[in-house]
Amino acid sequence: MHVSQVENHRDRKTFIELPYQLYRDDPRWVPPLRSEMAGQFNRKKNPFLEHCESVLFLLWENKKPVGRIAAFIDYLAIEAWGEAIGLFGYYECPANAAASQLLLKTAQDWLAERGMQFMRGPWSFVSQEWGSVVEGFEPAPVVMSPYNPPYYNEQYEDFGLEKVKDLLVYLIDARRGYQIPERILTLTDKVSNRYKILTRPLDMQNLEKETEMLISLSNDSLIKNWGYSPVTDAEVTAMVNDLKQIIHPKAVIFAKDEAGKPVGFAIAIPDINILLKGLDGRLFPFGWLKLLHGLPKLTNYRMFALGVIPEYHGKGIDCLLYRALYDSIFSPSMRLEINYVLEDNDPMNNALQKLNATLLRRYRVFQRGIGQSVSTQ
């Protein structure tokens, strides 16, 4: 076995195609669109890479690709976190200890050569797509969420990577009889009246202004969250342009106070993985028809983000946003996966428990020191 660095278009295509070969017979894996995956690695299409230094590696055995890993440095994140934390992701590896050690050490050495003191992951070039599944491998993953075989976690630990943070996933499922508890309805009515908060869905006719508001709210409300770093205007604009093809306006909620000041938001993305299954990552020749006809009918969602500006923390605005989103997208077949919440975000976890949401799965982010102890930033 040996590792090679991705140097050209052919290598990059091999890197991108590898999971489609490895998971071909795995019924739980949902192949993402190949065009979307290619875009993640294209500096002209993914503005996240503008503030990153990155490298891709392939693992070969008998002249065949059998594994891969990315190592990268997000300089905006380092500035926000105040520590030299390098990242790894896009990890795929056979169930072979030597292969795992070789891949992870290659990534670690690359980070060390650039002055990184810590190695953290799995991470990705896409916002909020972090972690390795450690609990809840069933059901299949929702859109823009990780998937991995269970043995990857053992490989990380054998390399000396340790848990630095768990990310929790909750489920609300109307098909199982879920309804918002009466006490939450009473609470949110009181919150709305007391603080004069109004909620409304996304206005697609004013998407540019809505995007500007989303950028401001995201950076104001999430900046102190573990692992978060400021998103650039270009990143949010690119994300909105991608998502506007699939987004349901009723699944994006903004909250404003009586003066019209935006105070919070919630975004739920239709789970297009339901439609992507069986397409092998291709829209042609008939995949686009399945998406075209299926998108408007989707009632499965992933809650992608929820934020409340600091001056309104602890006032129940999060519950109000959950209720507004629930009321907006509810149908007897609605399924909402709240993906994800930091394990130590007590206000958010408490709110979800009060909502009677069910804990569904758990992701884990790993970290190790490169020549020193593990950080907890």
Q: Quick one: 28 and 108 in the same domain?
A: yes
| Domain presence at residue 86 | yes
Q: What pLDDT was estimated at residue 131?
A: 97
| Domain presence at residue 121 | yes
Query: How many domains does the chain contain in total?
Result: 2
Structure-block tokens of residue 111: 């980070």
| Domain presence at residue 13 | yes
Q: Quick one: 150 and 259 in the same domain?
A: no
Q: What pLDDT was estimated at residue 285?
A: 64
Q: Where are the beta strands (DSSP E) in the chain?
A: 2-5, 52-61, 64-74, 85-92, 118-123, 132-135, 162-173, 198-201, 252-256, 262-270, 300-308, 335-342, 358-369
The model's confidence at residue 37, banded by pLDDT at 50, 70 and 90, is very high
| Domain presence at residue 374 | no
| Domain presence at residue 331 | yes
Is-contact 102 23, C-beta < 8 A?
Answer: no
Average pLDDT over residues 259-272: 96
Is-contact 343 134, C-beta < 8 A?
Answer: no
Q: What pLDDT was estimated at residue 344?
A: 96
Q: Quick one: 212 and 334 in the same domain?
A: yes
Query: Which helix (H) or strand (E) element contains residue 312?
Result: none
| CA–CA dist 140, 118 (Å, integer) | 31
Q: Quick one: 228 and 107 in the same domain?
A: no
Q: Quick one: 259 and 151 in the same domain?
A: no
Average pLDDT over residues 122-145: 93
Q: Quick one: 243 and 357 in the same domain?
A: yes
Q: Quick one: 186 and 323 in the same domain?
A: yes
CATH code of 277's domain = 3.40.630.30
| Domain presence at residue 376 | no
Q: Quick one: 275 and 308 in the same domain?
A: yes
pTM confidence score: 0.94
Report the percentage of the chain scoring pLDDT > 70. 97
Domain that residue 199 falls in: 172-364
Residues 283-334 have pLDDT tens digits of 766 677 788 888 999 999 999 999 999 999 999 999 999 999 999 999 999 9
Q: Quick one: 224 and 146 in the same domain?
A: no
| Domain presence at residue 207 | yes
Q: Quick one: 34 and 101 in the same domain?
A: yes
Q: Quick one: 178 and 153 in the same domain?
A: no
| Domain presence at residue 159 | yes
Q: Quick one: 132 and 205 in the same domain?
A: no
